[in-house]
């Protein structure tokens, strides 16, 4: 797949080295230069023992300047090496600043390919063993982030016009900074205070932590202070109180067994 490409953008998946795809791991093994983000599990770098490895994590408040620097570094690396991997957390197409780096490569006439990855919302759902969609309940999932390019929380703008008429499940990326104002804003827009919420830190990792509750109970709960990336999932499908669904499944199983026996 990435055979003609000089640069391969690779989604590393979130939290844990073994959530990368087989195709992504192969690209790492073939790379002679790897540019990697701050949140990557560095175990992945051991699969490319001979590659030049360059950390390009962004620091808060200087994101824009540093993106131009990363773009330049990516282009110059591609001019010096024949197989460059640009390793990004999660999936590169979702909140991964892919466009800026692709445009820089296009401007320099450099070929590239993309290997998709597991995005954090899916890893968070897997961590709490709940789906993001549910037949007859949740058919529309919206991914958003209250964090801007400069890492400034602006929940009001990101969450404008987001009533339950427009989406059934919300997955809010990089949402750690201003949790209670996010919950308040959603309630103002028509989400019931009883809407189930899951907070998942370090989704996909061995040390993932989650808290579940409702928009009312989670938001103003004592803040868990953590620098770990936080995913907030909102909506009926992430509810952990599921007595009725389990009872219905038990009834269906009995009906099925009776029909088989007759």
Alpha-carbon gap, residue 205 to 57, rounded angstroms? 19
Count Cα atoms within 13 angstroms, Cβ side, for 245: 12
The one among 29, 57, 72, 220 contacting a copy of itself by CB under 8 A: 72
Tell me the closest approach of the beta carbon of residue 48 to a copy of itself, in angstroms: 15
Alpha-carbon gap, residue 156 to 144, rounded angstroms? 12
Q: What are phi and psi of 94, to 5 degrees?
A: -115, 110
Report helix angle 98-107 to 63-80, nearest 10: 40
Residues in 239-258 that interact with a copy of itself by CB under 8 A: 242, 245-250, 252-253, 256-257
Helix (H) or strand (E) holding 120: helix 120-128
The one among 25, 31, 200, 232 contacting a copy of itself by CB under 8 A: 25
Q: How far is CA 262 from the centre of its chain?
A: 49
The one among 52, 66, 81, 143 contacting a copy of itself by CB under 8 A: 143
Structure-token pair, residue 11? 């989604």
| Dihedral sign from CA coordinates of 152, 158, 159, 161 | positive
Residue where the block lists tokens 């990516």: 74
Catalytic residue among 58, 88, 91, 168: 58
Residues in 181-200 that interact with a copy of itself by CB under 8 A: none
Taking the least distance from each CB to a copy of itself, the nearer of 220 and 251 is 251
Indicate if 37 belongs to the active site: yes
Tell me the closest approach of the beta carbon of residue 61 to a copy of itself, in angstroms: 16
The one among 126, 174, 209, 216 contacting a copy of itself by CB under 8 A: 126
Does the footprint of a copy of itself cover residue 123 (CB under 8 A)? yes
Residues in 157-176 that interact with a copy of itself by CB under 8 A: 158, 160-162, 165-167
Taking the least distance from each CB to a copy of itself, the nearer of 53 and 140 is 140
Secondary structure (3-state) at 112: strand
Residue 169, strand partner residues? 141
The one among 6, 16, 182, 197 contacting a copy of itself by CB under 8 A: 16
Alpha-carbon gap, residue 169 to 235, rounded angstroms? 5
Select the span of 32-40, 52-60, 100-108, 187-195 touching a copy of itself (CB under 8 A). 100-108
Indicate if 41 belongs to the active site: no
Q: Active-site residue numbers?
A: 37, 58
């Amino acid at each position: 797949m990435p055979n003609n490409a000089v640069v391969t953008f690779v989604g590393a998946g979130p939290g844990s080295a073994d959530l990368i795809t087989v195709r992504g791991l192969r690209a790492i093994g073939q790379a002679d230069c790897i540019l990697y983000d701050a949140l990557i599990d560095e175990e992945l770098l051991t699969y490319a023992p001979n590659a030049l490895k360059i950390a390009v994590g962004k620091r808060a408040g200087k994101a824009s300047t540093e993106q131009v620097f990363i773009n330049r570094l990516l282009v110059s690396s591609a001019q010096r090496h024949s197989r460059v991997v640009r390793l990004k957390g999660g999936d590169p197409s979702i909140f991964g600043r892919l466009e800026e780096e692709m445009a820089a490569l296009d401007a320099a006439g450099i070929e590239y390919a993309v290997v998709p990855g597991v995005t954090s919302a899916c890893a968070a759902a897997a961590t709490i063993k709940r789906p993001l969609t549910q037949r007859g309940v949740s058919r529309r999932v919206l991914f958003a982030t209250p964090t801007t390019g400069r890492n400034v929380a602006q929940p009001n703008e990101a969450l404008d016009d987001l009533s339950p008429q427009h989406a059934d499940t919300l997955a809010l990326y990089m949402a750690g900074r201003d949790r209670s104002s996010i919950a308040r804003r959603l309630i103002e827009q028509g989400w019931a205070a009883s809407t189930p919420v899951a907070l998942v830190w370090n989704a996909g990792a061995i040390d993932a932590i989650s808290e579940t509750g409702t928009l009312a109970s989670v938001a103003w709960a004592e803040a868990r202070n953590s620098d770990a990336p936080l995913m907030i999932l909102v909506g009926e499908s992430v509810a952990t109180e599921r007595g009725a669904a389990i009872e219905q499944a038990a009834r269906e199983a009995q009906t099925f067994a009776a029909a088989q026996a007759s």
